[in-house]
Structures are given as C-alpha cells and as structure tokens.
C-alpha cells in the first residue's frame, strides 16, 4: 500500500447544490404556494462522496467544475470546510453551477435540475501529477458526466498505471441508454457501486445475482446497493450480502454516495471487503437519518 502519498483519494466528478423544499405543496401554474422551510445543501453524487469521505477521516482531493457564481462559492466553501483539497477545482466562466430543486413530501421527492456545470468535467482536467499524489481515484455519477465519457477509460488506465486503485458509481442514466462507454471504464475499475436498478439495467438482467455476476466479469469488485436491504458484494474471491442498519429514514438523498464514502474510507486503509461493506452500510444509514446528502456528516 502506498502510504507515502499525501492524498488517500481523489474524487473527480460533478459538484452542485441541492435546494430542499420541505413539505412542498402541489404546484399549480399561475399560483404561488407557501412551503414551511427549505435547506440549501451540497449536492452532486461525487461532491457528497468527497465531503463525507473527508469527514470520515480520509485525505481527499476533489476535481470538478463549478460556475463563477454564488452557488459555486457555496460548493467550494462546503468542501473546504470538510478539509477537501481544491487545488485543481475548475471555475467555468460561461456555465452556471448546477442546481437541483427538490420538492419533498413525506419520504418522497420530485426534482428539477438545471445542469449547468454538471456535465462539464473532462478527463484532461485531472492532471497526472495530481493523480500521482493519491492512492485511489473515485468517479461518481458516471452517466451524467458526458464530457468525461470519451476518455474516462483512459483516465482510469492512467490512474492504475500511476499505482492508484479505482472506483466508479454510475447513478441513474437520464438518457436511459445504460451504456455511454461504461463497459470500457469498468474493465479499469476496482470497485463498481451501482444500485440494484442500475445494475440490472446495465447488465440487461432482471435477476440481481446474475446482474452482479455479469458486471463482475468487467470490474474487479461489484457492490450492488439495495436500499433498506443493504448490499450484495461480488469479488473474484467472495460473494456475500451485508444487511442495512435499521434506522428511521427521513431522506434518501445521498445514501448511495455516503455508502461509497464509508466503503472507500475503509478500503484505502486496507480493510477486508466485509469490513468495507459494513462501514458502507453504516455510512448509508447515517445519511438517511437527516435531510440532504451531507448533513449527517457535518
């Protein structure tokens, strides 16, 4: 294990803000309705993972794109407050920082996203000398990162050549193609973190064990996240399930991203896969006890 490097993990991906409207009333065109409260929180699968990783004690760098605007400064302030290194954060002059407005009603939610900088990151924005300062590269929300698709596999190959391990979360594919070159990237991936629905759709298999098996022919370790059912882990050496921790869930935003943070914080410490999975389900459970993806880690 390379402990001589100053960073444990570089997270590359999207960073945006989530505006949570609590107890949102049904919208009607031509009318203004009142909601009792709102929260402005760090959003973005990749940036939530980076924040929570840092709060769990990992030394983290984040590479992503925000706009030169108030929300961009908010994203940077949040990440910096957790101790995330932002030396290679990019600030776009012509795109606005991405925003999702979530209408929450009970445990259900509906969102509208203004993508802004969300798809902007390119593989060449992640400098090789910076990678060489870390031990692991994680990319979240692969399907959203359209500019990254052409050279994502090359980026992961480069990371591996520089001695890093790699991990990938795909998140939902808004284009519903479930491809975007992900198989090429998975061949360079040590840990793949889809949820159950995503695993099924990418593998084209309705059975979750068959889907995990198919994906494990591409990535070295596949961790399928199954909400309140926990996770299924498949590696060349093992196949096991880790049950979720029972908690009172109020908001599932960022559960998967927090799971990734818990898992990876242990992974870079050289923990066993069972220990990594346990740390992941603990972090996922922690996330759902509060509104927003990072609140429970602040």
Ligand X SMILES: Nc1ncnc2c1ncn2[C@@H]1O[C@H](COP(=O)(O)OP(=O)(O)O)[C@@H](O)[C@H]1O
Q: Which residues of the shown chain bind Mg ion in the complex (CB under 5 A)?
A: 171, 256
Edge to edge, the sheet with strand 108-114 lists 37-43, 16-22, 99-105, 108-114
Q: Is 211 in the site for ligand X (CB under 6 A)?
A: no
CA distances, 220 to each of 11, 190, 233, 297 (Å): 19, 5, 11, 29
What is the phi/psi pair of residue 152, to 5°? -65, -45
Residue 257 known to be catalytic: yes
Q: Is 151 in the site for ligand X (CB under 6 A)?
A: no
Nearer to ligand X, 43 or 72 (CB): 43
Give CA–CA dist 23/136, Å, rounded: 40
Which residues touch 260 (CB under 8 Å, ≥6 apart)? 49, 138, 140, 167, 169, 193, 280
∠72-96-27 over CA atoms, to 5°? Answer: 100
**From 259, 267, 291, 297, residue interacting with ligand X (rule: CB under 6 A):** 259
Please state the closest distance from residue 142 (CB atom) to ligand X, in A.
Answer: 12
Give CA–CA dist 289/28, Å, rounded: 31
Q: Which does 117 bind (CB under 5 to 8 A by kind): ligand X, Mg ion, none?
A: none
Please state the closest distance from residue 55 (CB atom) to Mg ion, in A.
Answer: 19
Q: Is 252 in the site for ligand X (CB under 6 A)?
A: yes
Give CA–CA dist 218/192, Å, rounded: 9
Name the region of 191 (left: φ>0; alpha: ψ -120 to 50; beta: rest): beta
* Cα torsion 68, 74, 79, 82: sign: positive
Please state the closest distance from residue 290 (CB atom) to ligand X, in A.
Answer: 12
Nearer to ligand X, 52 or 117 (CB): 52
**From 219, 230, 232, 296, residue interacting with ligand X (rule: CB under 6 A):** 230
**From 19, 245, 250, 271, residue interacting with ligand X (rule: CB under 6 A):** 245
**From 228, 239, 250, 271, residue interacting with ligand X (rule: CB under 6 A):** 228
Q: Mask: binding to ligand X, 260-289, rule CB under 6 A, as x and -? A: ---------------------x--xx--x-
Nearer to Mg ion, 164 or 199 (CB): 199
Q: Is 208 in the site for ligand X (CB under 6 A)?
A: no
Active site residues: 257
Catalog residues that contact ligand X under the rule CB under 6 A: 195, 225-228, 230-231, 244-245, 247, 249, 252, 255-256, 259, 281, 284-285, 288
């Amino acid at each position: 294990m390379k402990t001589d490097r100053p960073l444990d993990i570089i997270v590359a991906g999207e960073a945006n803000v989530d505006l949570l409207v609590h107890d949102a009333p049904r919208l009607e065109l031509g009318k203004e309705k009142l909601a009792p409260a709102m929260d402005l929180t760090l959003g973005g699968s990749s940036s939530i993972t980076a924040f929570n990783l840092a709060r769990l004690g990992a030394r983290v760098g984040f590479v992503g794109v925000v706009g030169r605007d108030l929300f961009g400064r908010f994203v940077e302030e949040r990440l910096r407050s957790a101790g995330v290194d932002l030396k290679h954060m990019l600030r776009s002059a012509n795109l606005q920082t991405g925003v999702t407005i979530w209408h929450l009603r009970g445990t259900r939610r509906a969102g509208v996203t203004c993508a802004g900088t969300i798809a902007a990151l390119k593989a060449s924005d992640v400098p090789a000398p910076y990678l060489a300062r870390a031990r692991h590269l994680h990319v979240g929300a692969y399907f959203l990162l359209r500019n990254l698709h052409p050279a994502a596999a090359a980026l992961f190959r480069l990371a591996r050549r520089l001695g890093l391990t790699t991990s990938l979360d795909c998140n939902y594919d808004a284009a519903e193609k479930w491809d975007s070159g992900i198989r090429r990237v998975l061949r360079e991936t040590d840990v793949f973190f889809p949820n159950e629905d995503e695993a099924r759709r990418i593998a084209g298999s309705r059975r979750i064990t068959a889907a995990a098996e198919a994906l494990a022919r591409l990535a070295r370790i596949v961790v399928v996240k199954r909400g309140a059912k926990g996770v299924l882990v498949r590696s060349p050496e093992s196949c096991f399930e880790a049950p979720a921790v029972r908690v009172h869930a109020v908001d599932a935003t960022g559960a998967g991203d927090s799971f990734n943070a818990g898992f990876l914080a242990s992974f870079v410490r050289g923990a066993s896969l069972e220990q990594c999975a346990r740390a992941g389900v603990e972090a996922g459970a922690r996330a759902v006890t509060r509104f927003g993806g990072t609140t429970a880690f602040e």
